[in-house]
Amino acid sequence: MASMTTSTIVTTVVTTVEHKGETKSLPTCKGCKKCHHGFTGSGCLIVTKNDRTGDTDIVLARVRRSTGKRYFDFGGKIDAGERCSDTASRELFEESCRTINIKATFLQKCSYVDIVKKGCVHKYRCYVVLCLGVSCKTFYQAIKNPGLPSRLKETDAMTRFQLGEIKANYIANKGVLDVLQKADSGTHKPLSSRARHIIEQCIENHLL
């Protein structure tokens, strides 16, 4: 099981809107029947060290139902009675096929970014977590388990992306990430708009 650590106990709130690489302030919902205090989703951006190269990687998961087989942070919809940290903890555990387990109480101490899609008033919160010992190999072993519950079959791949390569792309494109990013395997894989926007905001706010 991966172990968790955090070098910075700081809370960073960034409310933005995705629109062709632009970042704008946007009025958001303060709470309604469709959300939890303005939030409809939450997740985790996992940052880890590469034991082989010593570099820093970002770990993302591929969602089976996503168009274009794109990679996301570990996250999803807030269920009734959950806080953002509860949802992020649960979604990470489920989407990593139970290979990464981070308690909600730990996430409450971590940095995070809040993002808002264009045309939406509800926010999505993503916690940024330094997690040691993350193993994609263990994930692939777990998803082959024939007794795996259906709720743990939402993702079919977990991949490392080199943070250095991502930052270089961010700088070259003046703050906007390309869809295709270089994975640890050397091949380029597509990132979802949500994952790209989260990473962009993390870099802009010096969380990565």
Question: What confidence score (pLDDT) does residue 12 get?
Answer: 46
Question: What confidence score (pLDDT) does residue 39 get?
Answer: 84
- Other C-beta atoms closer than 10 Å to the C-beta of 135 total 18
Question: What confidence score (pLDDT) does residue 82 get?
Answer: 92
Question: What confidence score (pLDDT) does residue 6 get?
Answer: 42
- Other C-beta atoms closer than 10 Å to the C-beta of 188 total 14
In 81-144, beta strands by DSSP E = 111-115, 123-132
List 112's β-bridge partners, or say none.
Answer: 127
Question: What confidence score (pLDDT) does residue 27 get?
Answer: 60
Which residues of the chain carry a pLDDT beneath 50? 3-24
How far apart are alpha carbons 82 and 107 in whole angstroms?
A: 14
- Other C-beta atoms closer than 10 Å to the C-beta of 2 total 18
- Biggest CA-to-CA distance, the chain: 48
How far apart are alpha carbons 88 and 74 in whole angstroms?
A: 7
Question: What confidence score (pLDDT) does residue 92 get?
Answer: 96
CATH architecture of 3-204: Alpha-Beta Complex (3.90)
How far apart are alpha carbons 74 and 60 in whole angstroms?
A: 7
- Answer yes or no: are the C-beta atoms of 47 and 58 closer than 8 Å: yes
